[in-house]
Structure formats: C-alpha cells, structure tokens
Amino acid sequence: MSAIVKIEASSDAEKARAALEPPLGFGTTLADLMVRMEHGAERGWRQPIVTATAPLELSPAAKALHYGVEVFEGMKAYGWADGRVALFRPELNARRLNASARRIRMPEIAEETQLAAIEALVGELRAWVPRGRGSALYLRPAIIGTEAALRVSSGSEHLYFVIASPVGPYFSGGFKAIPIMVEESQVRAAVGGVGEAKTGGNYAAGLDGQERAREMGFEQVLWLDAREHRYLEELNGMNVFVVDRGSLLTPPLDGTILPGIVRRSILELAPDLGLTASEHPLAIEDVMRGIESGRVTEILAVGTGAIITPVGSLGYRGRTVTVGDGEPGPVAKLFYDAVAAIQHGESPDPRGWMRVVG
C-alpha cells in the first residue's frame, strides 16, 4: 500500500538525536520530514510525497488565509520499549478528517491514502519518536485551501500536509489537576454550526475565552451550550467527563461537540475497568451542586494531547469550587494508566486499537 507514497528525502539521525534531548516541549520542534499532497480540480488528489519540512509557498489570496478553509487532525505515534512504533486508532483520525472536510466542502482523501502517507512518514521518522510514558511523536495532518481567489468558497485547489513533532507531556507539571473557568457569555459552537468539525475557525472562536481564563488564573475554559448557556460542552481542545456517584458521564454529541477519539475510547473501555460510562446532558448548576455535596468527585478533560487531565477546580459566576480534594482522583489515574499502557504496548490490546508501523 505504501508504494503509493513517494519518498523524496531522508531524515537526519543527528538532528533527531539532538531534538530528543530532554526536556521535550509540546509542538515546538518539527521533525525534518513532512508529507505533502496537492489537489486540483482536474486531477483530484495527486501522489503523497514524503519530503523535507519546509515553509509553504502560498498566495496571499489563498482561501485558507481568509475564509478558514482548513481542517486538521491531531494524533500520536508511540515508541514502545521493544523498539516498535505504533499509532493509536489512526483510522478514526482519517475518517474524522474527511468528516470535517465534508462539512466545509473541502475534498476528502481516501482513508487508505491518508494511512499510507502517515505510516510512510512515521517509518522514515523512527529516530524522532521519543520513548517513555507521556512522550510521543505528535502528528498534525491538515488540509488547506490554496486557491488564490477572493470569492468566498472552498476553492478548487487544496494541499494536504502532515507535520510531526516530538513531544513530552502536554502539561509541563506532569499529571496534575488544573483549574478551569466556565465561560458564561461567549460560546464556541452553536447547533447547526461547525463545532463537530476540526476546523480552524472553532479555535479562533475560543481564543478570547481562553485568554480571559488565563488572565483570571485558570488554565483552560469550559464551554456551555449556545442556546441556554447551561449545558456543559467541552474545552478548546478536550472533551469532558464528570464522575457522578462513581459513574462517568459526558455530554452527548449534538453537532456542537468535537467527537474525540479519547472520549470514545473511554466510553468503550469503562466496562473493562469495572465502571459505567455514558452520554448524558450535564447542567452546570447541577455539576456545581454535585461538587459541593460530594456527589461529583472528579472531572476529567480528555484528548490526544494529554490523554487525561484531572480538573482540580471549577470557576463559575465568580465562585470557584474545588473538585474532590483538588488532586488527581482515582478514576483519572485508572483511565490514564489503562490508556497509556495500551498506547505504549505495555498491556494487551484486545480491541486492536494500536497499529504497529511496518
């Protein structure tokens, strides 16, 4: 299958060694190879090429720069102790990239082509994959609209690329609970909008809330629904679970919430860990009351970046409540360990989630 990918450059092992010297940041160093594949109206998608990482040449009129004609993915290649490298459920990322692309009228890419390109890239970048819990080679596939024309449309020319970055733990403090601010007035996504697509505009919509949260001493912002400003949705790049009387609850996907792969994996894995996890609307007042009464013992933020991040406190309407004792709780630890062990090849993988790169 990977014969369809052209390999045009090779990686510099010396550079990789230097890049993996600790401490690893998050997404600051790019590996020296990337994938590029061009699309045009006449010929559709061309051949994916593994080539040297370099700046893109774009017309200042490119659609991506004006109308947010962009979709992306975030996934990781994990280095196993036995030297192998494996991807976590990459077919779900490929499928989701296409779902995002469809929503904003960008051209889809066959899942097999995406997977072949990503596997070829990771195969060439073996030396860039860090080892050890919490570390991985982060992969960022994206499609952008490159047509130079100012009419509002997705356009007829696009570029698919995949860049890679060796990363350490997402939060420099390691596995610790973070304070989160519940946003009361702005919204990230509305019913009928593009909230469920991984497209740049959603993140632009969240930046002001994110910064205000930071200015007030919180680490992240938690969005509520656009209609009633009442139901929990998600963070800027992570889904949310509440542990209520020992059960995990997460808001149902209604088109405004990004369908996270870690979210889905937790829903699927919970029974194996002797827990129940289900989708249920979560009203903020009820969650606040639950925290205060001790019914809600933990809140988890989940996503590929940090896998599981415990929430230590929640700020809402000028009041901040501590979740549990403010420290990472047992459910967060249980799931982090279970998911990390599968990702690093340390435990059996009965569902075949890991895809070892040939």
Ligand X SMILES: *Cc1c(COP(=O)(O)O)cnc(C)c1O
Smallest distance, ligand X to C-beta of residue 300, A: 12
Residue in 175, 165, 143 with CA at minimum distance from that of residue 30: 165
Tokens encoding 74? 């975030």
Cβ nearer to ligand X, comparing 24 with 258: 258
Cβ nearer to ligand X, comparing 237 with 312: 237
Cβ nearer to ligand X, comparing 16 with 139: 139
Smallest distance, ligand X to C-beta of residue 260, A: 3
Question: Is 33 strand, coil or helix?
Answer: strand
Smallest distance, ligand X to C-beta of residue 117, A: 19
Name the burial class of residue 294, with classes exposed (0-12), middle (13-18) and buried (19+) by CB atoms within 10 angstroms of its CB: exposed
Torsion of CA 251, 256, 259, 260, to 10 degrees: -80
Residue in 138, 117, 263, 143 with CA at minimum distance from that of residue 200: 143
Cβ nearer to ligand X, comparing 258 with 332: 258
Smallest distance, ligand X to C-beta of residue 88, A: 9
Q: For residues 68 and 202, what is the distance between their CA atoms, to the nearest angstrom?
A: 10
User: Between helices 111-124 and 90-103, what is the axis angle to 10°?
Assistant: 130
Residue in 38, 73, 33 with CA at minimum distance from that of residue 50: 33
For tokens 């970055």, name the residue: 165
Smallest distance, ligand X to C-beta of residue 129, A: 18
Cβ nearer to ligand X, comparing 237 with 315: 237
Q: Which residues bind ligand X (CB under 6 A)?
A: 74, 198, 234, 237-239, 258, 260-263, 303-304
Smallest distance, ligand X to C-beta of residue 252, A: 15
Cβ nearer to ligand X, comparing 49 with 92: 92
